Amino acid sequence: MRVFLTGGTGFVGREILRQLVATGHKVRALVRRGSEHKLAVEKDIEVHIGDATDAASLDGALAGCDAVIHLVGIIREFPGKGITFQHLHIDATRNLIETAEAEGVSRFVHMSANGVRPDAKAIYHQTKWSAEEFLRASTLDWTILRPSIIFGREGEFVNMLANLIRKLPIIPVIGGGSYRMQPVAVEEVAISFVKALELPDTIGQTYQVGGSASYSYEEILDLTGAAIGREVVRKLHQPLFMMKPVIKLLEGAAAFPITNDQLTMMLEGNVCDPTEWAQTFDILPTSFAYGIRRCFQPGT
């Protein structure tokens, strides 16, 4: 197939690009001007210079393509730079859907997120839900994948935690640290997107994507510490009633590590039942306990 890939310069997109090429697909990547060098594979890749939030830049972009894999998304807004959930989740998805319909490309595999639902409290989840609704209302042959937190060697999640543990003698933990997560390996997420292209039974389906086990945030810290050789990760719990006003005050600063929206999602937890996904795509999910060790083992 000739696949039009958005978000191909990101953490997940780079792995999907590798796997698309390895399985013999031709790829046309949507890339902002100047970001071509961020693609994991450059040889034999078509590049379309454009921006998913700019509908005009997509004119003719899908000509000759058989499918779209749409990954564009953000975890944090920077409104002053025009980086908002509305633009990146809703507008970008709507633009791609309308372009696919206009150019006769019916297959559309879409990256959403675990926790997405109509009554979500977090704006991130609300806008992801709206994007899904546009896709469900379209004429396209869609598949939606909703991963939990995605981890891997190049991923921001594990590297951020590892850097904190290396640099700080005590790691701050908001609240009790018992909120649970079910991280999923980036390679398994990528396999799902690539396989979906060849599995007609996945059309019109939505899949929850997660690892084989869930862990509290404190356990995630301990497992990450062990993976980088820190036997004991000391933690300092910060009461929620103290942290919420601080986060509200400072979340607009790019250097501040968390926003109120992210806090809401963190406290909700990020777990799911991945059984249907694993069976459909013939995947044996990796546990974070095993996968995090591989992230920091040289040569693996």
Q: Is residue 108 part of a domain?
A: yes
| pLDDT tens figures, 158-175 | 999 999 999 999 999 999
**Which pLDDT score, from 0 to 100, does residue 141 have?**
98
- Across 234-243, average pLDDT: 96
Among 43-47, 143-147, 253-257, top mean pLDDT goes to: 143-147
Q: Is residue 154 part of a domain?
A: no
| pLDDT tens figures, 93-123 | 999 999 999 999 999 999 999 999 999 999 9
pLDDT at 152 over 80: yes
**Which pLDDT score, from 0 to 100, does residue 43 have?**
87
- Residue 26, CA distances (Å) to 52, 125, 171, 234, 284 in order: 20, 32, 45, 48, 27
Contact 51, 77 (CB under 8 A): no
Q: Is residue 230 part of a domain?
A: no
Cite the DSSP H helix spans in the chain: 11-22, 85, 92-102, 123-136, 156-167, 186-196, 217-227, 240-250, 260-268, 275-280, 288-295
DSSP string, 77-109: -BGGGTB-HIIIIIIHHHHHHHHHHHTT--EEE
Q: Is residue 162 part of a domain?
A: no
Q: Is residue 85 part of a domain?
A: yes
pLDDT at 55 over 90: yes
Number of domains into which the chain is organized: 1
The boundaries of the domain holding residue 47 are 2-149+185-209+272-285
Q: Is residue 193 part of a domain?
A: yes
Residues written for the chain = 300
Distance (Å, whole) CA 146 – CA 165: 29
Q: Is residue 175 part of a domain?
A: no
- Across 223-244, average pLDDT: 96
Q: Is residue 163 part of a domain?
A: no
Q: Domain of 14: which CATH number?
A: 3.40.50.720
pLDDT class of 21 with cuts at 50, 70, 90: very high
